[in-house]
Amino acid sequence: MSFALGLTGSIGMGKSTTALMFADEGCALWDADAAVHRLYAEGGAAVGPMRTLFPSAVVDDSVSREGLKRIIARDSTALKTIESIVHPLVAADRAAFRAAASADILVFDIPLLFETGGNAAMDAVACVRVPADEQKRRVMARGTMTEAQFEQIRAKQMPNDEKCARSDFVIETDTLDHARAQVQDIVRQIRAGMADA
């Protein structure tokens, strides 16, 4: 029996880097964003349904995220429809990973874990955290979005303090070494608990 650990945290908090640290400790890693990329890629399960409902969003047999953004900007109901297509497919991808994985600890990297109620399917949740000014500095340093776009994303997400309060573990990602030490400690605690069970 494996242990399911949800890993969450708001944009720019260091979740993806932290997820890889869990993989370094022998945990199997499932990434929600990577699952969506697979579904949107050529041959992905989301391409057909998207082509039926939003033909302009499909370019070269794959779903264009930019195309979806334009559709959502024009039609306030489009996001709900897109989610109704994508969420069940993501859930199926996650279930297939869970069924096939052989590691003792399965880490589910899910940005909107609490927002989508995914925490209910986890044995425990870990949330990453840095101060808000460092979060903003990291996101702006990527050069992939404007300050307004960053604030828009942050407004859609549950406040990170609330995510931390609802989590079993909180990982400060102020430095790589500090984050890694906390990840190693969490893995030790989970494995010790599994040995006692």
Two domains, one topology: 1-27+105-197 and 33-102 = yes
Segments in the chain forming alpha helices (H) = 15-24, 32-40, 47-53, 65-74, 78-100, 132-142, 147-156, 160-166, 176-196
Query: If you search the block for the tokens 């993501």, which residue do you land on?
Result: 90
**Which residues does the chain have with pLDDT short of 70?**
none
Q: What is the pLDDT of residues 138-170, one digit of tens each?
A: 999 998 888 888 888 888 889 999 999 999 999
Task: Please tell me the pTM assigned to this model.
Answer: 0.89
Which CATH topology does 33-102 take? Rossmann fold (3.40.50)
Please classify residue 58 by burial: count the beta carbons closer than 10 Å to its beta carbon, then call 0-12 exposed, 13-18 middle and 19+ buried.
buried
What superfamily in CATH does domain 1-27+105-197 come from? P-loop containing nucleotide triphosphate hydrolases (3.40.50.300)
